[in-house]
Amino acid sequence: MCGIVAVIGSREAAPLLLEGLRQLEYRGYDSAGLATIQEVEKDGLGLLSCKRAQGKLNNLSSLVEKFGSPGHLGIGHTRWATHGKPEERNAHPQRDISGEIAVVQNGIIENHRFLRKELEAEGVSFSSETDTEVIPHLIGRELKRMQSDGGVISGSLLLTAVQNVTKELTGAYALAVVWARTPEALVVARRQAPLLIGLGEGEFLCASDTPALAGFTRTILPMEDGEVALLTPLGIELYNAEGKRQQRSPSLLTGIDHVVDKRNFRHFMLKEIHEQPDTAELWVARHLPAGLPPTSPVALPFDESFYQGIEQIQILACGTSRHAGMVGAYLLEQFAGIPTSVFYASEFRYSAPPLAPNTLTIGVTQSGETADTLAALAMEFDRRKANGDPAFASRQLGITNRVESSLARQVPNILDIGAGIEVGVAATKTFLGQLLAFYALALDFAARKKSRSSDEIISLSNELRLVPNYLRSLIHRHDQLSEQLAHRFTDTQDVIFLGRGINYPIALEGALKLKEISYIHAEGYPAGEMKHGPIALIDPRVPVISIAMPGMVFEKVLSNAQEAKARDAQLIGVAPEGPATDIFDALLPLPEVSELISPLLSVVPMQLLSYHIAAHRGLDIDQPRNLAKSVTVE
Ligand code: AGP
């Protein structure tokens, strides 16, 4: 979703902004822009240069190359359209009527209509349809008011204007502001949207995500909710929402947080699918080292108090992360014996179930920045606190791939899936990492609650240790098979994915992957539900992809697949080879593993088939239309 980069220092700002924005491209965007300020008189008025372009970042860099954008201070933005079409006039930076104030914003200003009307009544004419444009106009009005009250032009004046204006805004936002009259001041602010300050050598930076900073500095100061900061060449002044000066030590970025290259793969998504054996191997090394006793079968970073008294679990997540949560719920209920519910975070926020005691809430978000998931967790924290739940402060767990994210700062317990940065908008290796996190939790809870025998715990642990190798051979083989099969989907408009039990969420995930990157309509169903309606959709043009793994529901799934075949569906099986599975017109074969670990493997053909169908159609796989990697607005 929208990305912000800002810089003030001794180097030319535009190339740094463009490089930072390039690192944020993976989040998804449809236009980009930057503004720089060149000091023309010592301690006087600067020149604001603003360049914006619809489409890819290259369009913006061509503009900058052609016309230049001088100055050592600047702000940049990649925009994912919310208010107003993805056109140049709606791209950021947005400016006030004087053209001296420029603002970039990530979020949604919910009261923008009201503010716009108020400003229009005062004679302000708007040049965009964005919610953001009210901000530079409000800052301009506030600066004028303060100057007529004797305020002297300075960075501090700009800071105060932003502090005053942010009090008028409702909604979630992160923003960066420059003013041509203060060529040595950059003001940034955030409320419920991420923003981090980077402390570089001879420069300060600010960005909405670490990859944009990691190429310049590893020393970062994540801004807290409601904070506003003034950045000058001399230092940082940080204030909380009440205007009180804050002092905090910066932290060090660990790991490789900048976007790495595609190596020899055509797309990041394909590279990330191929990285899954490494994700699993690292997880086994960290959490399932050899020699752990069945009474304590996994190494997890929580102390005893975390586990005490947990009687039920609720999982909050969106999209693919919710599908991982559904597999997790299956494991926690069926293996560990803990009643578990899964919610769309966006629904939970406004219709949470009645409070039940001794409940652990798990938020699953690979980015750690999904607005709905963060807000749902915050809401749950607040209502438990208000209700006097004695464990309200410790009963939340976040499963994420980004340990420096807002999630990690918000919840007390974090399980890092350690998959390394994922660039492709379609989540693949992070889904696997989330699944593995749930296997670890299920093993842990089963051992603590003694809901499984030692033999069962040892057997599941041993099977999980084999997953990296299974994945290695599976991915290689399925890459070729899926590429061959993809040609059959040239004219396909609808696909149905079937699964049951622990593989039902994988059918949902298969459908989501296909929709996201190939734009083919797809639905995932629990196979037994077909005959209650969806079977009406079946005809020879609708492929049915059925996940059938030996286990409790194997025969049932095969019967459900037969029902589709009887109606002339093209039947594709994701199942082990053998006489039972020769009903399928095409087979994407899986090894015969236990049903319990099968989602870790059955998801691979889903990912590769979607990938190759989209590649065959020549689509923009890593940045599919309309999608964003981090969904930081409601
Ligand atoms: C996954 O392929 C999607 N891009 C999307 O559904 C994603 O899983 C969802 O937006 C949640 O993201 P998160 O894990 O970062 O919270």
The answer for 287, left when phi > 0, alpha when psi is -120 to 50, beta otherwise, is: alpha
Q: Report the pLDDT averaged over residues 491-512.
A: 96
> Residue 595 has what pLDDT?
96
Please report which residue ranges of 68-111 form alpha helices under DSSP H. Answer: none
The catalytic residue among 2, 50, 206, 318 is 2
> Residue 547 has what pLDDT?
96
Q: Which residue has tokens 């409070």? A: 355
- Ligand 1 atom closest to the Cα of residue 426 is 2
Whether ligand 1 lies within 6 angstroms of the CB of 346 is answered as: no
The answer for 248, left when phi > 0, alpha when psi is -120 to 50, beta otherwise, is: beta
Q: Largest Cα–Cα distance of the chain, in whole Å?
A: 87
Share of the chain above pLDDT 90, in %: 79
The pLDDT tens digits for 287-312 are 999 888 888 899 999 988 899 899 99
Are residues 184 and 200 in contact, defined by beta-carbon separation less than 8 angstroms?
Answer: no
Concatenate the DSSP letters of all residues of 410-442 into one string.
HSSEEEE-------SSS--HHHHHHHHHHHHHH
> Residue 265 has what pLDDT?
93
Phi, psi of 211 (to 5 degrees): -55, -30
Average pLDDT value for the chain: 93
Query: What Cα–Cα distance (Å) separates residue 494 from each residue in 363, 524, 539, 543?
Result: 32, 11, 10, 7
Are residues 178 and 75 in contact, defined by beta-carbon separation less than 8 angstroms?
Answer: yes
3-class SS letters over 455-469: HHHHHHHHHHHHHHH
Are residues 178 and 4 in contact, defined by beta-carbon separation less than 8 angstroms?
Answer: no
Are residues 361 and 314 in contact, defined by beta-carbon separation less than 8 angstroms?
Answer: yes
Pocket probe mutation, ligand 1, options 367, 373, 621, max atoms within 8 Å of Cβ = 367
Query: Is 450 known to be catalytic?
Result: no
Domains located in the chain, CATH noted: 3-252 (3.60.20.10), 268-616 (3.40.50.10490)
The pLDDT tens digits for 588-597 are 999 999 999 9
Q: pTM for this one? A: 0.86
> Residue 258 has what pLDDT?
63
| Weakest mean pLDDT among 86-100, 108-122, 530-544, 605-619 | 530-544
CA of 241 to the centre of ligand 1 (A): 30
> Residue 519 has what pLDDT?
96
Choose among 503, 547, 514, 550: nearest CA to 327: 503
Give the model's confidence band at 256: pLDDT under 50 very low, under 70 low, under 90 confident, else very high. low
| Weakest mean pLDDT among 103-107, 109-113, 260-264, 267-271 | 260-264
CA of 255 to the centre of ligand 1 (A): 22
- Ligand 1 atom closest to the Cα of residue 366 is 14
For the beta carbon of residue 58, count every other beta carbon within 10 angstroms: 13
Whether ligand 1 lies within 6 angstroms of the CB of 560 is answered as: no
For the beta carbon of residue 141, count every other beta carbon within 10 angstroms: 18
> Residue 41 has what pLDDT?
66
Cα 447–chain centre separation: 32
Give the contacts of 481 (CB within 8 A, at least 6 positions apart): 588, 605, 608
d(CA 396, CA 373): 12
- Greatest mean pLDDT range, 3-7, 77-81, 289-293: 3-7
Task: Give the β-pairing of 46-54 and 31-39.
Answer: antiparallel
Residue 259: pLDDT above 70?
A: no
Q: Report the pLDDT averaged over residues 212-237.
A: 94
Task: Tell me the two tokens of residue 293.
Answer: 């006793």
The pLDDT tens digits for 167-219 are 999 998 999 999 999 999 999 999 988 899 999 999 999 999 888 998 999 99
The identity of residue 78, as a single letter, is: T
Q: Report the pLDDT averaged over residues 564-590.
A: 91
Are residues 238 and 227 in contact, defined by beta-carbon separation less than 8 angstroms?
Answer: yes
Pocket probe mutation, ligand 1, options 315, 366, 377, 514, max atoms within 8 Å of Cβ = 366
Cα 253–chain centre separation: 19
The identity of residue 276, as a single letter, is: Q
Whether ligand 1 lies within 6 angstroms of the CB of 516 is answered as: yes
| Weakest mean pLDDT among 26-35, 471-480, 608-617 | 26-35
Are residues 374 and 416 in contact, defined by beta-carbon separation less than 8 angstroms?
Answer: no
Give the contacts of 298 (CB within 8 A, at least 6 positions apart): 287, 288, 292, 440, 443, 444, 461
| Weakest mean pLDDT among 43-47, 74-78, 295-299 | 43-47
Residue 326: pLDDT above 80?
A: yes
Whether ligand 1 lies within 6 angstroms of the CB of 407 is answered as: no
Give the contacts of 65 (CB within 8 A, at least 6 positions apart): none
- Ligand 1 atom closest to the Cα of residue 367 is 15
Give the model's confidence band at 160: pLDDT under 50 very low, under 70 low, under 90 confident, else very high. very high
Cis link prior to 505 (omega < 30° from 0)?
A: no
The pLDDT tens digits for 606-621 are 999 999 999 999 999 9
Whether ligand 1 lies within 6 angstroms of the CB of 623 is answered as: no
Task: Tell me the two tokens of residue 214.
Answer: 């990691």
The answer for 3, left when phi > 0, alpha when psi is -120 to 50, beta otherwise, is: beta
Beta strand residue intervals within 167-243, DSSP E: 171-179, 186-191, 196-199, 203-207, 219-222, 228-232, 235-239
Phi, psi of 99 (to 5 degrees): 75, 10
The pLDDT tens digits for 59-71 are 999 999 999 999 9
Whether ligand 1 lies within 6 angstroms of the CB of 405 is answered as: no
The identity of residue 486, as a single letter, is: A
The pLDDT tens digits for 426-468 are 999 999 999 999 999 999 999 999 999 999 999 999 999 999 9
> Residue 613 has what pLDDT?
96
d(CA 556, CA 562): 10
CA of 584 to the centre of ligand 1 (A): 31
Query: Is 56 known to be catalytic?
Result: no
Q: Report the pLDDT averaged over residues 39-57.
A: 86
Query: What Cα–Cα distance (Å) separates residue 142 from each residue in 20, 158, 161?
Result: 30, 9, 6
Residue 92: pLDDT above 80?
A: yes
> Residue 270 has what pLDDT?
97
- Ligand 1 atom closest to the Cα of residue 320 is 8
